[in-house]
Structures are given as C-alpha cells and as structure tokens.
A and B are shown apart, each in its own frame.
Chain A
C-alpha cells in the first residue's frame, strides 16, 4: 500500500527522531561513564569483554592487517612508478599505515565483528525480556552490560591497532622485498627516515574514540531492539552501519585536530 506522505511532516519527524536518538546516546554515554568507578568490583565483567573484543578479534585483525600492508605497498609502487624512487616506499607506506590505514581499517573490522555482535546479543536479551529480568533483580543494565563493553572497546582497540600496524608493515615489506626487489635495509631505512612518533600516537589516540563509539552504538542499538528475530537482524546491520559511519566521521574530525 502506498502511503500519502506529507513531505514536511515526514522531514520534521526524521529530524525529531534523529535529535531524540542523539539525546538518548548522549544520556547512555553519561550513564555508562557514571558507573566507571564501580569497575573495580565489576572487573570480571570487564575482563570477559576485553577477551571478547580484544583477544578473540586478534586473528581477524592480523589477516586484515597483513593484506592491508601488502595492497598498500602495491598501491604506493604503482603511484611512484616513473615519478619517485622506490627506495622511499617504506616511508610512504608506513606513514599511511600508522596514521590512517591501521587505525581506521581495524576500527571498521571491529565495528563489523564487535559492534554488530553487541547489538545482536543485547537485542536478543531485549526481545526475550532478559533486560527486564535484570532490572527486576535490581541490576542496572547500563552498569552490567554497557559500562564493561564500552570501556573494553575503548581500551582494546588501540592494542589491536598496534598489532595491525606491525603486521601491516610486515605485509608491506613482504611485497616490497619479494615482488619489488627492495632490500630489507633500504625498506626499513626509508621507514626510519621519515618516522615521527606523533604519527603513531596520533593514530592510536583516535582508536580510543573509535573503540568507545563502536561499543556504545552497539549497546544503544541493542537496547532499542524490538520485533523479535527480525528486529535483532536489523539491529546488527544498523549497529555496523552507524558505527562504521561514525568511525569515518570521527576520523576526519580527529585528523584535523591532531595532524
């Protein structure tokens, strides 16, 4: 059935919904951080989430990092062709990895793996009344579910990014050495020549925000889930889309501030 929609009313409702949801996320963030002082007592919950978000994501991050490094080496070589000496390839690739590729690609992988899984897990809990059951036992779902996930996301993404950066650099070196004929000394001399700590730390600094936002959006979307299994599926997709978009928007904002 085609609905006869008033475009002004439709647009107005969309804007109100957006502002209302933004307000809800801000309130969730504030409440999530209000329970951080209790994390000492809730450390088991935090460690479980750190394991889930961190160590369980490591194999995926290693694979993505390795291929990202390899493809960025090919890309740089293709752009350098006939213009710049390949002896500078290590520098170009490493800076791209440390400043952008490592942090952003790791964050997007985590948005897919962790953000969506948080939304699905909490969404299932919501539609099966498990969130209400927590409340009925006098347990705050924000303290019990949101705070450990958001803090674990904030802490673990920088660590995963360090792994991704190192593995990506190795991937780039493999391509440079085996396919482009650049020796180990030339490649790593080039990396060192233009190496700035600020590049690495600036990239890692961004990931604290990426990790926190990804987990926060996962929790928010999960807790708003309705309509049974179909709703859970929609929430997973929505959590990924929102967190991946937020990672890219935040990346731009933070890049302009840091670099």
Chain B
C-alpha cells in the first residue's frame, strides 16, 4: 500500500506540490492526470525516494521513504518497476544488458538463465519475434524503446509498476499498442499500477481510478466514468478535447 500525506515540494520559488494526500491500495490501477508541469512526475519520484519532500510523508508498505536507510530503500526499489517517459535505456549497453542489469546486480550470474529471462520479457512486450537482444538502444524506434524499458522493469518481477507518461511522443497506433500491453500486464500479474499521463484515452482503457492533480493539489479522485461525467468547469476544460 502507498500512503502519501500532506506532501509538499517546491523548486526555488515554484511550489509544485502543495499538500497532496493519496492512499493507493494493493492491486489498484490508478491514473494520475494533470497539465504539464503540475507535479505528476515529481509525485512519482517521491514515492521511490528520488526526491525528498519539503514536508509531509510518503510510505510504501509501511516504510517511511524519507527516513529509510539506503539498503532498505534500494531493496524496496527492486520491488518497483518504473517505465520512464523517455524509456531511459542505458545507451552504452545492449538491449540484453539493459533488461538483465537489475538481476545481474542483484547477484544472478547464470548467463543462460539471464538470456532466457531477457527473451521471455521481450516476448511479453511484443518484441519476441525480433532478435533485438544485441542491439544498442540508439538503433530502436521510440515505441520499441518504451517496450524495452517495460521489459527491463518487468525483469525484476515487480510488485508495483509505475508508468511515467507511457504514450507521450508516440504515434496513435503505437500508443494504442502500449495501452493494451499495460492493460494485459496489469491483469496478468496483478501488480499495483500507477500511471502518470495526460492522455485520457489511456486513462479510460487502463485505469480503475483516476486522480486529477491541479495546481499542486488533488482536484478530483474517482472513476474514469465519474471524471467524464463531471460538470466541474476545471475538469471539463481539461478533458474537453478527449470527450469531443
């Protein structure tokens, strides 16, 4: 379970989070939406301890992130899969090395087993038919990079999956493919999933709950259907483009 209480964060004079409270229960699939720069990614980075709050607390499975010792924090992170907005593949490594790095660092040295896991995870993300293991990320398309990033996150068999704008910058067809991929992975592995997006199509397809972050505060918390039916002016303005 993820518990966020009165989370505040500023960068210089820019107050990004102004007191956010969220509880995410195990097995939930939650989408966090909001305008660019409203603090969605900042919120996600607080949950895995990449950023420290100015005030407030973040707890994951009872572990207080800000006070956690380094080894506890790293052990927790190994249970969390993170798909970055830019995929964030290590460009000096091959696809295979990217996928198995976490396992290698966790002590797995059996090359045959590692190769088998990498092939299996690439299959899960729809790249099984192509032998990409020895490719460098620079030779992959944007959609393929996202899929490899997803395979890397899945290699650790995470209990939580965080997706930071999984379809941003992709064409509509690839966006749809990524959406259905996330949906099938969420259903197959029963992970607790948190999706940061401003793509309402993604929200409708994947999320069971949606949180709308506005000006550093939670403005809406409900189901995608409730969001669509909302008559609040700010919500309507945000979702208008997608409803039309």
Chain A residues engaging chain B, CB cutoff 8 angstroms? 124-125, 128-130, 132-140, 144
Provide the bound-state CA to CA distance between A124 and B90, in Å: 10
Of the residues A128, A137, A144, contact of B78 by C-beta under 8 Å = A137
Pick from B20-28, B81-89, B192-200, B224-232 the stretch touching chain A. B81-89
* Chain B residues within 8 Å of A139, by CB: 74, 101-102, 105
Distance of A149 from chain B, by nearest CB (Å): 13
B77 at interface by CB-CB < 8 Å: yes
Do B85 and A129 have beta carbons less than 8 Å apart?
yes
Of the residues A124, A130, A137, contact of B102 by C-beta under 8 Å = A137
Do B91 and A133 have beta carbons less than 8 Å apart?
no
Q: In the complex, which range does the number of interface residues on chain B fall in?
A: 20 to 34
* Chain A residues within 8 Å of B90, by CB: 125, 130, 133-134
* B164, closest chain A residue (CB): A129
Identify which of residues 43-101 in chain B touch chain A, using a CB-to-CB cut-off of 8 Å: 45, 48-50, 70, 74-75, 77-78, 80, 82, 84-86, 88-91, 101
* Chain A residues within 8 Å of B70, by CB: 140
Do A138 and B82 have beta carbons less than 8 Å apart?
no
Provide the bound-state CA to CA distance between A130 and B45, in Å: 14
Of the residues B49, B74, B84, B106, contact of A133 by C-beta under 8 Å = B84
Provide the bound-state CA to CA distance between A190 and B171, in Å: 74
Do B105 and A138 have beta carbons less than 8 Å apart?
yes
Do A130 and B78 have beta carbons less than 8 Å apart?
no
* Chain B residues within 8 Å of A136, by CB: 48, 50, 77, 80, 82, 84
Do A133 and B88 have beta carbons less than 8 Å apart?
yes
Question: 30 A–B contact pairs at CB < 8 A?
Answer: A125-B90, A128-B86, A128-B88, A128-B91, A129-B85, A130-B88, A130-B91, A132-B45, A132-B82, A132-B84, A132-B88, A133-B82, A133-B88, A133-B90, A135-B49, A135-B77, A136-B48, A136-B50, A136-B77, A136-B80, A136-B82, A137-B152, A138-B74, A138-B75, A138-B78, A138-B102, A138-B106, A139-B101, A139-B105, A140-B70
Distance of B55 from chain A, by nearest CB (Å): 21
* Chain A residues within 8 Å of B86, by CB: 128-129
Provide the bound-state CA to CA distance between A139 and B20, in Å: 28
Do A138 and B88 have beta carbons less than 8 Å apart?
no
* Chain B residues within 8 Å of A140, by CB: 70, 74
Provide the bound-state CA to CA distance between A130 and B85, in Å: 11
* Chain B residues within 8 Å of A144, by CB: 105
Provide the bound-state CA to CA distance between A136 and B85, in Å: 13
Identify which of residues 134-169 in chain B touch chain A, using a CB-to-CB cut-off of 8 Å: 152, 156
Provide the bound-state CA to CA distance between A163 and B238, in Å: 65
* Chain A residues within 8 Å of B88, by CB: 128-130, 132-133
Contacts A129-B84, A129-B86, A138-B77 known; 5 new A-B pairs at CB < 8 A = A128-B86, A133-B84, A136-B48, A136-B82, A138-B74
